[in-house]
Structure 1
């Protein structure tokens, strides 16, 4: 899995949580009792299931 900054991680999880809130189907099996889109998006991120990528310029890498 790619290394993300905390800002990139927040952006990816936030975008996915918004999709889930608007009715997008979950990409993982939803644990019983999980109703918060933000929690579900974090679980998807941790499992590497979110199909959102960040494109970085080569010059940004140090």
Structure 2
């Protein structure tokens, strides 16, 4: 997620996907006191540590 701008729909998709991963036991990538998966995902997104890319097909 280095320097890429996301639309609100892309952001929602990334956060939802990451929250699902966290809820199924994926390791959390940052130190946080949050326990809700969506809040953990949001903090990870804001920190820029998520390994997601969005392919828009804009050749």
TM-score normalised by length of structure 1: 0.85
Distance 1:6 1:53 in 2: 14
Determine the structure 1 residue equivalent to 2:55.
55
Cross-structure match for 2:24: 22
Cα offset for 1:50?
Answer: 0.7
Task: Flag the structure with more relative contact order, 1 or 2, with Cα contacts below 8 A and sequence separation at least 6.
Answer: 2
Which of 6, 9, 12 is 1:7 aligned to?
Answer: 9
Structure 1 stretches of 5 or more lacking a match?
Answer: none
Task: State TM-score, norm by structure 2.
Answer: 0.89
CA RMSD of aligned residues (A): 1.1
Q: Name the structure 2 match of 1:39.
A: 39
Unpaired runs of 5+ residues, structure 2, are none
**Can you list the C-alpha shifts for 1:15-42, whole angstroms capped at 9, x where unaligned?**
00000000000001122xx110000000
